[in-house]
Structure 1
């Protein structure tokens, strides 16, 4: 019995040490390391961003253009894409292509493939995603948008990766950033479908990273928590809730740190703290009731009227 306690204690200490080492790496990168734009440009001439009409996708488009990459913006609303393209071309020397596509459909990928033909794509940002319109909520209480959510959150990542990865493999270089969510780090009751769809993105990304890292391709999944975007109803920003621009600028520092990152130091610390909550407490009816009520109150207090 004493030996058992010894080995269990040793295992816990090792796990804590690993977490401290990981956090130390993030601290080092956050305060001292700046990824040079030349690294991003070395991946290829063009960056493709899905869900580029708003929020995180729009921020990635601007930031990558500032680093000297040409950008392809893919989203549903043509007017938004045209306006963003004009902004980017006016603020940078980068070229911009736009592709109108609705990722809640599955018949769009031949059209996208045709539009991307002939481009040297060095970076793909699989950002497009959607939340059920009623959250937090039990699964049976959500509206009938299940297939649309799966197409947008799951199919889009698989299909877009399939479109660009083959050419990255032939050139022996490339960077794919898959935007998941902090809700993917463990099952989230009241967010069941969204959490599961984002967990797929995590598993898919990390498996592909192992398959293709020897070919010079980085495939990284990002699991942010609160970011103020139209999808999150413009939450007010603070030390934890980041603007899309803040999140994207910081996340690009971490593209060489490993196959998974929360994208910013504050969210990395939050993930570590949430991981300390025992599952029997996290999944208890009392905690879930508290979370449902507390989150609704938080949204009311912190949502801007924009």
Structure 2
């Protein structure tokens, strides 16, 4: 899975809006066929998304392109997948599921329509959305139930499906979802999925709150966020990237340690910290990730 610091929802039936998302600097777009598309526009949404996907891929080869399908319980999932399972697509965002069995059912649908639509078998990946008590309870099984599962999205939205299912009351500080988010990160990291995602921040008037939310999630181990507005793209990309200060700090740590090793030592005091081989592994990981994102110095 490619690094995705920012994934912006785009209503699938709104032609041309995806390019506006790309112009904001997103790492990926989620062409939505679910909640942002009115019931009477589902068919039009599928047609528009099917047209948008190859156009986006041609114009933006490095962009992450995903489609959020309708939940299994709607009976619309198969129609969505049939219309948009295309070679240029990266995968599907899976909403409102209740356990690994649902993921396997969708896997079977995607396998069928990959074959029918001429897509190489097994190439379309999944980002399951943890939006129910059952999904959070089984998240460790969900992340391992299919090789298509690339990561998990830990939903925390106010007054939405997840808060209704679990019964928490949203606060900007996020204490009520700390356990849930931590559980999702652990499930991902323990199973080799290095890019756990979270979101969304709904208060578009509170930019400081959005930044605090992103920074807290970065501290927990998340690598990116789902977004509902382009104004938060730059913020998310910055928070979920190693900063220039980080890169300088860890680069100089490696230099100091290498000098100590050349002098026959296996540890060094750097910026008041004890540094040994374990710390250097972390430093090298940060530098490598910055280079992968193109933000290294």
**Pairwise same-fold verdict (TM > 0.5):** no
TM-score (norm 1): 0.35
Greater helix share, structure number: 1
TM-score (norm 2): 0.36
